[in-house]
Structure 1
């Protein structure tokens, strides 16, 4: 996983947690704009989320942040 994607995921998780609390759920789409302007990075996130960790579509942002920090 690239450091740019890892940093982005942690940043988005921090923002969502600050806005909506520790129970907020996110999907890997939360890390991207509605327009798919970076398909390579999207596939990298999807592979990490779905294949590597076999996560559900929505997961708690605190869980994702923790996984990222330990990855």
Structure 2
């Protein structure tokens, strides 16, 4: 999911807090936004992985293994 304007503003504000009173270069701002987008993407990916793991854990693996042995 793309960052919202509020999330972009927050990334820039955090950059200003790390470098108070300094003029920020365009590249620094771009990097801060890119890092925020990366963090958001990773958070989303981890949530998807956790959901898939939860589904896999809920499967009746013993029953599936027994059915596989029946077909051998």
Superposition TM-score, scaled by structure 1 size:
0.33
Structure (1/2) with the larger strand percentage: 1
Structure (1/2) with the larger helix percentage: 2
Give the greater-gyration-radius structure (CA). 2
Q: Which has the higher contact order (CA 8 A, sep 6+)?
A: 1
